[in-house]
């Protein structure tokens, strides 16, 4: 079984490490890669969801 690691970055995105495929609500593959690190938005403000685009810093998103 493959391992995936998900960590919440303080005041920022989810850091996701592992081999995974990210699919949008319509089933379209957004990204697929062998063992890598993704940053997924958890502030809701990204213009490139589900990926983080740095907006969390501009809107001063706060979360542990």
Which CB sits closer to ligand FES, 38 or 41?
Answer: 41
Q: Which residue, 36 or 57, is less far from ligand FES as judged by CB?
A: 57
When the beta carbons of 3 and 5 are compared against ligand FES, the nearer one is 5
**Which stretches of the chain bind ligand FES, using CB under 6 A?**
12-13, 41-43, 45-46, 52-56
**Sequence-separated contacts (24+) of 12-20 with Cβ below 8 Å:** 12/39, 12/42, 12/43, 12/52, 12/56, 12/57, 12/61, 13/39, 13/40, 13/41, 13/42, 13/43, 13/52, 13/56, 14/39, 14/40, 14/41, 14/42, 15/39, 16/40
Least distance CB 41 / ligand FES (angstroms): 3
């Amino acid at each position: 079984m493959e391992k995936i690691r998900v960590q919440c970055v303080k005041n920022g995105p989810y850091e996701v490490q592992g081999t995974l495929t990210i699919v949008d609500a319509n089933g379209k593959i957004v990204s697929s890669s062998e063992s890598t690190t993704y940053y997924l938005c958890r502030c809701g403000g990204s213009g490139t969801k589900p990926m983080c685009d740095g907006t969390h810093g501009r809107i001063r998103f706060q979360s542990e």
